[in-house]
C-alpha cells in the first residue's frame, strides 16, 4: 500500500480516481513522538492510496495474481504476475503472524529500568549541587547574595556561632550500583554480547578452541536471525536470476571470481540461463567471526600440514593470503603475475 499522485494513476492505469484528503506523511527525519498532541504529519494534495494484492502461484492461479485498486476502483488485474516479488527477512517467528519478533524486545523492560536509575542519579547530582540553605533567624542575610556563583560573597551576622549553610544531600544508596550491574548482566545474557563481542579477551582464554567456543556461544542468539537472513537472501537472488533470464535480451559482460581471486570476463544473455540455477549460501557465513580466532585456526591448519601446494610441499604464499596480511603482497606478487600470465596464454592456445 502506497500513496500515488492521481495524475500518475491516470497515466498508468487510464482511470480517474478522486484525491484522498486523508493521505498524509511524516518526514523520515522527524523523530518527534506521534502521540496525537505533537503530530507533524502533513497532508499530501492530489494523492490517492493504491492497494496491491499479490497471490502466489497456486492451483486456482497457476501464474500468480496481482490486483490493484484505488479509491474503490479496480485499476488492474494481472493473472500472469508470477511469484510475489517481496521477501520477508523475519527474525523469531510468531505463530499466526507474518511479522517476526526480535530478541531485543525482551531487553526493553530492563533498559527502561536502567534509564530510570540513571535519571535518578542525574537528579540527585543536580540536587547535591543546588541544595537548600539553612539561614539562622536574625543573621541579616541578604537573600539576593545567595547564588550559585563561584567565589561569591555572603554577608551575615553570626548568632551564637551559627552561619548560613547548605543542607547536605543524602548519599545515593549503595545498592543502586548493584542493581545497575545486575541489569547490565541481564542485558548481556539476553543479547548474547559478552567479553569477546565487547572487544575484551576473557581471562585465561588464549586458545583457538576456547575462542571458538566463546564465539559459538555468543552467536547462539543470532542463529535464528542469521538463518532467516540467509534463506531470505537465497530467495532474493533466485528471483534476480529469473529476472535476468527474462530481461537480459542483449549480450552482457559479467565478471566471475575464480580460484586465487582470478577475475574472468564472460559474455552471456538471459537465454543462456536454464532457469534451474540454484543459489548456495554457506550456512553460518552471515555470522560474525573474530579475526584472532580465524587466524588461530589457519595456523593450526598450517601446523598440521594442511596448507600445501599441488606437489604436497608447504605453501607459505597461501598461508599469507589466508592470514590477510596486506603488507605481504610483495612476497608473492611477482609469482602471482606469472601464474596469471601463464593462465591467459593457456586460454589463448585453447582458442
In the predicted structure, residue 135 carries a pLDDT above the cut 70: yes
pLDDT (tens digit, 9 = 90+) per residue, 259-317?
666 677 788 888 888 877 888 887 777 776 667 667 777 888 888 888 888 888 888 87
Give the residue-averaged pLDDT of 326-334: 52
pLDDT at residue 98 in the model = 77
pLDDT at residue 77 in the model = 92
Q: Is 293 exposed, middle or buried (0-12, 13-18, 19+ CB in 10 A)?
A: buried
pLDDT at residue 33 in the model = 46
Give the model's confidence band at 26: pLDDT under 50 very low, under 70 low, under 90 confident, else very high: very low
Give the CA distances from residue 36 to residues 31, 32, 39, 40, 41, in Å, rounded to whole numbers and listed in that order. 14, 11, 6, 9, 10
**Range from 123-127, 155-159, 273-277, 300-304 carrying the lowest mean pLDDT:** 155-159
In the predicted structure, residue 203 carries a pLDDT above the cut 50: yes
H or E stretch at 24: strand 24-25
Domain boundaries, given as residue ranges, for the chain: 2-78, 305-351
pLDDT at residue 224 in the model = 77
- Whose CA is closest to 336, among 256, 261, 258? 261
237 vs 158: CA distance, rounded Å: 85
Is 267:314 a contact under the CB 8 Å cutoff?
Answer: no
In the predicted structure, residue 136 carries a pLDDT above the cut 60: yes
Give the model's confidence band at 349: pLDDT under 50 very low, under 70 low, under 90 confident, else very high: low
Amino acid at each position: 500500500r502506497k500513496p500515488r499522485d492521481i495524475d500518475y494513476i491516470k497515466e498508468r492505469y487510464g482511470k480517474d480516481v478522486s484525491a484522498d484528503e486523508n493521505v498524509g506523511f511524516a518526514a523520515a527525519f522527524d523523530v518527534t513522538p506521534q502521540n496525537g498532541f505533537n503530530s507533524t504529519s502533513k497532508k499530501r494534495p492530489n494523492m490517492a492510496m493504491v492497494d496491491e494484492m499479490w497471490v502466489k502461484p497456486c492451483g486456482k492461479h497457476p501464474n500468480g495474481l496481482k490486483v490493484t485498486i484505488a479509491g474503490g476502483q479496480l485499476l488492474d488485474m494481472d493473472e500472469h504476475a508470477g511469484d510475489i516479488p517481496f521477501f520477508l527477512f523475519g527474525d523469531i517467528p510468531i505463530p499466526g503472524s507474518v511479522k517476526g519478533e526480535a530478541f531485543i524486545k525482551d531487553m526493553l523492560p530492563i533498559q527502561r529500568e536502567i534509564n530510570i536509575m540513571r535519571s535518578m542519579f542525574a537528579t540527585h547530582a543536580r540536587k547535591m549541587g543546588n541544595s537548600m540553605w539553612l539561614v539562622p533567624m536574625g543573621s541579616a542575610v541578604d537573600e539576593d547574595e545567595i547564588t550559585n556563583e563561584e567565589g561569591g560573597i555572603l554577608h551575615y551576622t553570626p548568632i551564637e556561632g551559627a552561619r548560613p549553610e547548605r543542607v547536605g544531600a543524602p548519599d545515593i544508596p549503595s545498592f543502586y550500583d548493584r542493581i545497575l550491574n545486575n541489569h547490565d548482566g541481564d542485558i548481556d545474557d539476553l543479547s548474547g554480547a559478552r567479553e569477546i563481542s565487547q572487544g575484551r579477551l576473557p581471562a585465561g582464554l588464549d586458545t583457538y578452541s576456547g575462542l571458538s567456543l566463546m564465539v559459538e556461544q555468543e552467536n547462539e542468539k543470532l542463529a535464528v536471525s542469521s538463518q532467516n537472513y540467509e534463506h531470505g537472501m537465497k530467495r532474493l537472488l533466485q528471483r534476480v536470476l529469473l529476472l535476468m533470464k527474462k530481461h537480459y535480451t542483449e549480450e552482457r559482460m559479467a565478471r566471475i571470481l575464480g580460484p586465487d581471486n582470478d577475475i574472468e570476463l564472460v559474455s552471456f544473455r538471459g537465454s543462456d540461463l536454464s532457469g534451474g540455477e540454484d543459489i548456495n549460501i554457506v550456512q553460518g557465513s552471515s555470522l560474525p567471526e573474530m579475526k584472532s580466532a580465524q587466524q588461530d585456526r589457519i595456523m593450526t591448519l598450517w601446523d598440521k600440514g594442511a596448507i600445501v601446494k599441488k606437489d604436497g610441499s608447504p605453501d607459505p604464499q597461501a598461508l599469507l593470503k589466508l592470514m590477510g596480511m596486506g603488507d605481504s603482497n610483495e612476497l608473492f606478487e611477482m609469482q602471482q603475475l606469472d601464474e596469471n600470465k601463464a593462465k591467459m596464454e593457456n586460454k589463448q592456445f585453447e582458442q
